[in-house]
């Protein structure tokens, strides 16, 4: 009998039959970027007339996705055109992972000077050299397995990045096998805070300063449960030497944002809890940036725009889109969404037991919504 993974792969292939032709990609392939020990592909986008010394944003897709689809859905290419920065899209290959997940848990792929991590670092170096980009303003973001891989890059090559953003991802160094990865995704046996912080500090010889971090997670994510965002927070809060409690908490478009600032008042970490949202990248379908799709979820807030603003690559999101509510009001809004019993698209959740396990697996593969 084929495994569930094999079944998902076959259904994914069948799902593509009869689809309209794929949209033309705006991305160009980056070739010859190094030894590429992780056997990844790379694509990039440069806005017309990009000035020398522009920033670079590295964008990592999630499982079952590719660079072009995630670039289109998340809206990063549109935002790059608007604000003038370069984009690099590493892309996973089926020979490395049948579901196109970056191997965020495999020791050989998340170690400095090895595997997929080294391949991505090589891509960044080639982009900076070829296009005269600003090596002081390099940022990385990713969704799900791409988010966990972004966390691995921030840990193994912290000197490369000024900041990172992890969406529905996991902390670095929390798993080293497939069974462990599945457990951590469910929030089981996550390492303690001290071990998580040591994992980052031991991943390179870097002594600081450390990249800033933006963490995004849906409160109804049952694929990678929200406990992982709290583990990420504790991992990087300790590395930055920040206080346990946030410097400020507010509601933004009905979702809860917390910020940790250093002694100079600079925001080093922010977290967004997206009320009622499942597994995916939150999008504001009304602002013209990105397009809803599989794991690109309309949530009334654009993570892409907010992340770019946090990195000071774009203007702050208009105050009119933000609600100056108390922490209690923000929490109450999240609870109302959570207690509604519905997913963000208004459908009922899966049943418990084997049916739920199968439905969750199919949804994670993009075969159900």
Candidates 144, 214, 302, 303; catalytic one: 144
Whole-angstrom Cα distance, residue 14 to residue 9? 9
- Kindly report whether the peptide bond that precedes residue 209 is cis, defined as omega within 30 degrees of 0: yes
Give the containing element (helix H, strand E) for 184: helix 178-185
| Count of C-beta atoms within a 10 Å radius of residue 121 | 20
144: annotated active-site residue:
yes
Rg (CA), the chain: 19
Where are any strands of DSSP class E within the chain? 28-29, 41-45, 56-60, 86-91, 138-143, 163-167, 212-218, 248-252, 255-261, 267-274, 281-283, 296-298
Phi/psi class of residue 277: alpha, beta or left (left: φ > 0; alpha: ψ in -120 to 50)? beta
Task: Give me the count of residues in the chain.
Answer: 369
Is residue 53 classed exposed, middle or buried when 0-12, 13-18 and 19+ CB atoms within 10 A define those classes?
exposed
Phi/psi class of residue 128: alpha, beta or left (left: φ > 0; alpha: ψ in -120 to 50)? alpha
Catalytic residues: 144
């Amino acid at each position: 009998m084929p495994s569930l993974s094999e079944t998902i792969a076959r259904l994914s292939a069948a799902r593509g039959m009869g689809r309209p032709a794929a949209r033309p990609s705006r991305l160009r392939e980056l070739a010859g970027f190094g030894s590429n020990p992780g056997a990844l592909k790379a694509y990039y986008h440069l806005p017309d007339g990009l000035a020398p010394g522009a920033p670079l944003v590295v964008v990592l897709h999630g499982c079952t996705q590719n660079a072009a689809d995630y670039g289109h859905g998340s809206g990063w290419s549109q935002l790059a055109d608007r604000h003038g920065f370069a984009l690099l899209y590493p892309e996973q290959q089926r020979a490395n992972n049948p579901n196109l997940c970056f191997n965020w848990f495999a020791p050989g792929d998340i170690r400095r000077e090895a595997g997929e991590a080294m391949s991505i670092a090589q891509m960044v170096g080639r982009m900076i050299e070829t296009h005269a980009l600003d090596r002081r303003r390099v940022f990385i973001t990713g969704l799900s397995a791409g988010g966990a891989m972004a966390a691995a890059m921030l840990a193994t090559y912290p000197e490369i990045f000024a900041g990172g953003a992890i969406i529905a991802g996991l902390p670095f160094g929390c798993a080293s096998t497939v069974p462990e990865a599945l457990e951590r995704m469910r929030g089981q046996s996550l390492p303690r805070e001290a071990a998580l912080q040591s994992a980052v500090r031991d991943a390179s010889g870097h002594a600081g300063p450390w990249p800033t971090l933006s963490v995004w997670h849906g409160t109804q994510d049952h694929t990678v449960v929200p406990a992982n965002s709290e583990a990420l927070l504790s991992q990087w809060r300790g590395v930055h030497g920040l206080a346990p409690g946030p410097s400020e908490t507010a509601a933004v478009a009905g979702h809860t944002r917390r910020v940790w600032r250093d002694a100079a008042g600079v925001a080093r970490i922010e977290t967004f809890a997206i009320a009622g949202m499942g597994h995916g990248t939150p999008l504001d379908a009304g602002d013209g940036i990105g397009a809803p799709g599989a794991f690109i979820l309309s949530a009334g807030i654009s993570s892409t725009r907010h992340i770019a603003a946090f990195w000071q690559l774009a203007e702050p999101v208009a105050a009119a889109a933000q609600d100056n509510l108390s922490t209690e009001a923000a929490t109450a809004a999240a609870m109302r969404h959570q207690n509604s019993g519905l997913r963000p698209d208004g459908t009922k959740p899966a049943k418990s037991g084997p049916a739920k396990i199968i439905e969750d697996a199919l949804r994670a593969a993009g075969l159900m919504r």
